[in-house]
């Protein structure tokens, strides 16, 4: 039987105090609803329908890069039952329909799979959880045989029912034809004046079909976001899940609570990551990589035995085996360290290749350049790659020594084995093996006096 998924994403999120639709607030730098879409699509559904409302077209526009999505607008916010009813015309009556929520981002795929597997052909399955504090949630009403009979919302629950700790997550699955039948029978005769999707549970019981309550193991698995504090709490839960997985793979964290992974981080064995590091995009670490505190690394591949020292920023780069970067270094997009290379403090590398065994250790800028093997670039060196209109290439061949405070004005080639004397400005190609000096001759002026301030 085919599976369709309906994701409810129409809520305004008043308590977020934001003009942005709630489901577009981010967890690990991605909209909440994208996490839900990923989980839904992992179940290989025939269709995923997103019901949006508040914020107009903002939600469909934000999700335009996702395939296999359909959208329907809930013009009036009349409750969860009404929202699901808007999506059903897009779904075949024989499909099983799994209802998810765009602000419930952390339900594990295996939990959803077990819920769908427990679905009786003509009945309904609901995902529940035992809550430490059930206030505000719909209570699960079971009979003496422990079968689910109804869900009673907080505002409609009796004092006795409010003592129940098993609560409704809102995540349910049933056949589309069954939802159509039940939703046509519900009304707004309740405390909130809305069409409750949860009323389908009682109607299913009246129909004599099976109602299955599948219990989630942790509250965070079904936790929704209604305010920024809840969002922050779920962020830490999500980050800890990621770091726990990496620790199982052999990565050490100085403090897992002070690391943020905002994308995909993979790592080999015996890597260590210090505090306050942020990883975004796709980052791959080899074996025995050490990352110091306060580093930001984005879309980067780092080889084995690399040391990234404190406060370094690396973006869209490649760092070869046995290299060292930092502290306070910046590798900008297109930087590639070939291996056993050293990029030191306050060095910036952009769209440049640094060869094997080469060193740029202090206070330098290397941009739009090709640097060969075993090159030493002294402190304060700049590749002057931009004339105000166009950018040009600097080529530094193998075994070149560039003295401190040198300017290499591109386009220029420094051939193999050449030495650039400190303080030189190089404007023409340099031949192989030569020493180049372009600084003025030192001279002394006797009897010179420093200027002094004039008395007023």
| pLDDT attached to residue 455 | 83
Mean predicted lDDT score pLDDT of the chain: 95
At residue 155 the predicted structure's pLDDT band, cuts being 50, 70 and 90, is confident
- pLDDT of 194 reads 84
Please name which of 72, 47, 46, 48 lies closest in space to residue 59, comparing C-alpha atoms: 72
The whole-number average pLDDT for the span 213-236 is 96
**Residue 252 and residue 274 in contact, taking contact as beta carbons nearer than 8 Å:** no
pTM: 0.90
Q: pLDDT by residue (tens digit) across 60-95? A: 999 998 988 999 999 888 899 999 999 999 999 999
CA distance 193 to 197: 13
Answer whether residue 191 shows pLDDT above 80: no
Measured CA to CA, the distance from residue 245 to residue 286 in angstroms comes to 16
Catalytic residues: 362
Judged against a pLDDT cut of 90, whether residue 450 lies above it is answered with no
116: region left, alpha or beta (phi > 0 left; psi from -120 to 50 alpha): alpha
Tens digits of residue pLDDT in 365-421: 999 999 999 999 999 999 999 999 999 999 999 999 999 999 999 999 999 999 999
The reply to whether 241-436 shares the fold of 3-222 is: no
In this predicted structure, what is the pLDDT of residue 69?
A: 95
Architecture (CATH level 2) of domain 241-436: 3 Solenoid (2.160)
Domain positions in the chain: 3-222, 241-436
Residue 181: pLDDT band (50, 70, 90) is very high
Which of the following CATH numbers is that of domain 3-222: 3.30.70.1350, 3.30.360.10, 3.90.550.10, 3.30.342.10? 3.90.550.10
Q: Torsion-angle region of residue 246: left (phi > 0), alpha (psi -120 to 50) or beta?
A: alpha
């Amino acid at each position: 039987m085919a599976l369709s998924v309906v994701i409810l994403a129409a809520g305004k999120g008043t308590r977020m105090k934001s003009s942005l639709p709630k489901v577009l607030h981010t967890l690990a730098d991605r909209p909440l609803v994208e996490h839900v879409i990923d989980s839904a699509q992992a179940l290989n559904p025939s269709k995923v329908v997103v019901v949006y409302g508040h914020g107009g077209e903002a939600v469909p526009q934000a999700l335009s890069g996702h395939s296999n999505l359909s959208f329907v607008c809930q013009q009036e916010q009349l409750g969860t039952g009404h929202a699901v009813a808007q999506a059903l015309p897009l779904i075949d009556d024989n499909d099983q329909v799994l209802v998810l929520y765009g602000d419930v981002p952390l339900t594990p795929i295996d939990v959803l799979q077990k819920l769908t597997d427990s679905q009786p052909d003509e009945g309904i399955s609901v995902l529940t959880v035992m809550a430490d504090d059930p206030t505000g949630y719909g209570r699960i009403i079971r009979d003496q045989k422990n079968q689910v009979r109804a869900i009673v919302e907080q505002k409609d629950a009796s004092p006795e029912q409010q003592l129940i700790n098993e609560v409704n997550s809102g995540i349910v699955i049933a056949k589309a034809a069954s939802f159509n039948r039940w939703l046509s029978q519900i009304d707004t005769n309740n405390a909130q004046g809305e069409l409750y999707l949860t009323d389908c549970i009682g109607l299913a019981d009246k129909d004599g079909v099976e109602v299955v309550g599948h219990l989630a193991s942790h509250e965070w698995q079904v936790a929704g976001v209604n305010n920024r504090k809840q969002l922050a709490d779920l962020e830490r839960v999500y980050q800890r899940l990621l770091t726990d997985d990496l620790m199982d793979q052999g990565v050490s964290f100085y403090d897992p609570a002070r690391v943020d992974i905002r994308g995909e981080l993979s790592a080999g064995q015996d890597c260590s990551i210090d505090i306050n590091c942020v990883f975004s995009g796709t980052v791959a670490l080899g074996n025995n990589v050490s990352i110091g505190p306060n580093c930001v690394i984005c879309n980067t591949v780092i080889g084995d035995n690399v040391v990234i020292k404190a406060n370094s920023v690396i973006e869209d780069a490649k760092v070869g085996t046995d290299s060292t970067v930092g502290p306070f270094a910046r590798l900008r997009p297109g930087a590639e360290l070939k291996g056993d290379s050293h990029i030191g403090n306050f060095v910036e590398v952009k769209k440049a290749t640094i060869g094997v065994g080469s060193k740029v250790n202090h206070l330098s800028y290397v941009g739009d350049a090709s640097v060969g093997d075993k090159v030493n670039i002294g402190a304060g060196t700049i590749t002057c790659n931009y004339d105000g209109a166009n950018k040009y290439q600097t080529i530094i061949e193998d075994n070149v020594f560039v003295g401190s405070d040198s300017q290499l004005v591109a386009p220029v080639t420094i051939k193999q084995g050449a030495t650039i004397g400190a303080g030189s400005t190089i404007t023409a190609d340099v031949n192989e093996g030569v020493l180049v000096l372009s600084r003025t001759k030192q001279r002394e002026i006797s009897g010179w006096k420093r200027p002094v301030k004039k008395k007023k």
